[in-house]
Each structure stands twice: as C-alpha cells, then as structure tokens.
Structure 1
C-alpha cells in the first residue's frame, strides 16, 4: 500500500513538473513572438494649444498591440505641431490630438504662421486683381494717397501670402448693397501697422504675383501733380 502511494506521489510530481515546464515554454514563446515598437508619448503634462518641442516628447517601446492606430513613432512627426487637447505624461501622442496649418477644419488662428498676424483688407472691384486670387497666392500691396497736392503710389509690401479670400457686404449712400471682396494677408506685426495706417490715409491695391516669383526688389514710387 505504501509502495502504491509512493508511485502515485512520484507520478503526480512528474506531471506537475511537466505542466509547469509546458506553461513556461508557452509564456516564453508568446513573449518572443510579441513585437515591440517605438511609440511617441508625452514626456510631461502638456496643455492644449501648445506648440510641441523636442523636450516635451519621448519615445517608449511597447508591444505593438498596445499602440493606438493613430500613434506616432518619431519625435519629428509631432515636433512643431500644436496640441488640440491636453496630453498627460506618458500618454500616446495621436494624430487626432495634434494639428498642422494644412489640416482642414482647424480654427483659422491655426492657419497663421508663427510670429505673423492675419490682417484683412477690403479690396474693391477697381483696386482688386483680375481673376480673384485664392488662398496660398502671393501679392504685393500698393498704397495710393495725396500729399501736398501730389498723388503718388508706392509699393509698401511685397510677396505676402493670402490666408483667406472672401466677401463682406456694406451699404452705399444710395442704399444699395455692394459686395466688397476681402483679402486676409499674413503679415508681421510691423507690416500690420503699416497696412492699417495705409487704409486710413489712402487707398490699398493688390497686384498678384506668379507662383514662382518670390523676389523682393527696391521700387521707387510713382507720382503726378494735380
């Protein structure tokens, strides 16, 4: 009886060892088959509407089945872009949570280049350009004014990008409604001041540039005496 019990114990022990070994092999095989990939995460808490810099981001390796379908895999993919929402430390940086200028549906302010200002100029049919310009075109800005009986026109800005092109309606003296196209330009703060003053003291005109012409050249003003 004791001999039988001993053999039962030995067999049970062997089976237990085999079961543990089989489980270990299974776990080892699963771990070896698990693919690890680099995933971009926030290195710290980041508020919304923040331009992402290198120090705000880091890469962490994780199993590919843990990576979100919209995850990014390098710092360069997100650096310089703006957060739409808050990102928590070690949260995956997703394409849906950051934005670029070119993304449709963004607030207009996100389309303004860094250190620039969006300035809207009213352009009448007379002062506009043939073939209404579109977003992305570039124009020169001309100012015409009177000074001491001399009327002159001067190019005050060159090679300025159009951020928006639209129309606004305002009443004329006769009570008619006239559609006045508006052009929104990307300008530096100093240029924004200059063109605003020009609108108050004279008349603004635009000249449309060819797509490949980005040259800025010195120009003298044209004038005549009444």
Structure 2
C-alpha cells in the first residue's frame, strides 16, 4: 500500500508539471498568434539622446493593451531623439520623442516657444546641489531699491522676480532620474523670452539665489520684497520735506467801467445869513 501511494503521488506531480508546461506554451502561442510586436528600449535611453537600431528591439505585446503611439517598425525610430529618460523594457512612444528631424542634445528638450538660459551658481545659490533637472525653483535677486539714494546699504531689497522655473540641466547633466544632490557651478533653466530678459537683467544688477519649491505647487506668490529696515524692524529714515517755493498767481487786469456822473458839489451851508435890502431889491446872504 505504501508503494502504491508513492506511485500515485509521483504520477500526480508529473501530471501537474505537464499541465503547467502545456498551459505556458498555450499562452505564449496565443500571444504570438496576435501578431502584435512593439518596440521597447533595449538599453537605457538618456534625455536628449538619439535612438539607434541597437538601442531598441521588438517584443510580443497583447493586442488588447498596446499603448497609443507605439512603434512596430524599428526603421521609423532610427535617428529619433528622446525627450524623457526611457528605461530598458519600456515601450517607446511618440509622445516621448522629439519631432522628426530634431537633432540630439538639450535643444531637443526645450519646448516650442521656450528658451534655455544658464546662470552661474555655487553651493549656496544652487540650494546645496538639490536643484536637479526636472525640479522647479524661484529666482530671488538682492539689489538696490530703485529710486533711493545710491550706495545706501539701508535701501537694499530682496525680491522674487521669477517663479516656478523648470531646471533643464545642471552643468552638463540633463538626466531627470538622478536624485543625488550635485554641487555645480552652472544651472540651465527653461524660461519664456520675456523671462529670459528679466533674468538677464536681474543677474546684472544684483546677486541671484535659487529657491527650491514643491514640484506640484503651482500657486503664484505676490510679495513686495523686504528691505534692511523692514528686516530689522526699524523705521525707514524720512527724507526732509523740500522748501516750498511761493507761487505767483497772475491776476488779470480789471476791465475799465464807464464812469458814473458825479453830482456837482453843493455850496457849503451856513447858519449865519443876513437879509440885505438894496433899493427895491432884497437878497439873503449867508456866511
């Protein structure tokens, strides 16, 4: 009985193993019968890197889950440029490639209508190397307040001039999959033409600083900047009021008016009167 039990157990194990093998082969043959083969990365493709025939390969893919923009012809991928990092085994999609005819390099990553500008940084300005490709930063400038007295240190102001600027590259590295801090002396930023003008002026009139911000925080900020007097909570000196200059008001000449006739002066009256009779005539004389 014991020997029969072992035989039955062995037969069951062999039957189970055969069922697994046959099932696997059936699934593979069904997937192959669909005839869907798409291109995937054979090696890691760097951002801005050119795709070659050796860097891609075709693999079988279920027909019901083929992603949009997938390629089934390797010839169509030859010479294309990746605008994102692609790991080995990942499908190569049209949305992850630059337009046809684009040359490799960082210029392929810059979107239409945007520009790339590089600013000099150090270990402090560059947020200790944490400003990596793919991160967003604000640009802070420390300069002299406009309209105040020159060379007056109390009138220095610190102000955010640009917000949520994308870091394209640090030094000559543009890999966005890197997470380790890297202290460099230059950072390349993605800006609009108007932002490029503001940034170029800001670095010529003061000292720049990068402020690292959350990648999903798109809320704009509205600050007035801070001066030394505000920082130390002291009242800013009030300039003396300029002396007032008397204002002369021009008075228009008066138009002449017609003179009113004046009454003839009356003879002075007196209370001393004398009645004089000359012959038949009688006159009253007053003094």
Give CA-to-partner distance per residue, 1:9-40, whole Å, 9 cap, x none: xxxxxxxxxxxxxxxxxxxxxxxxxx999xxx
Determine the C-alpha separation between the residues in 1 that align with 2:79 and 2:126: 39
Q: Counterpart of 2:127?
A: 129
Structure 1 runs (4+) deviating above 4 angstroms are: none
Whose strand fraction is larger, Structure 1's or Structure 2's? 1
Residue in structure 2 matched with residue 186 of structure 1 by the alignment: 190
Q: Number of residue pairs matched?
A: 140
Per the alignment, residue 143 of structure 1 pairs with: 141
Give yes or no for the alignment of 1:221 onto 2:225. Answer: yes
Match of residue 171, structure 2, among 166, 170, 176? 166
1:212 to 210, 216, 221: 216
Root mean square deviation of aligned Cα: 3.7
Equivalent-residue separation in structure 2 for 1:138 and 1:118 (angstroms): 14
User: C-alpha distance in 2, partners of 1:211/1:103?
Assistant: 18
Whether the 8 Å contact between 1:143 and 1:205 is mirrored in structure 2 is yes
Q: What residue in structure 1 maps to residue 80 of structure 2?
A: 98
| Mapped pair 1:112 → 2:94 | no
Kindly indicate whether structure 1 or structure 2 has the higher relative contact order, using CA contacts under 8 Å at least 6 residues apart. Answer: 1
Q: Distance in 2 between matches of 1:69 and 1:107?
A: 26
Give, in angstroms, the shift of residue 131 of structure 1.
4.1
TM-score normalised by structure 1 residue count: 0.51
For the Cα contact (< 8 Å) 1:159–1:215, is it kept in 2? no
CA distance in 2, matches of 1:191, 1:200: 14
Structure with the greater alpha carbon radius of gyration: 2
TM-score after normalising by structure 2: 0.41
100 and 180 in structure 1: CA distance in 2 versus 1, 3 angstrom threshold: closer
Give the Cα separation in 2 of the matches to 1:210 and 1:92: 39
How far 1:219 moved relative to its partner? 1.8
The runs of 5 or more residues in structure 1 that have no matched partner are 1-34, 38-67, 79-90, 168-178
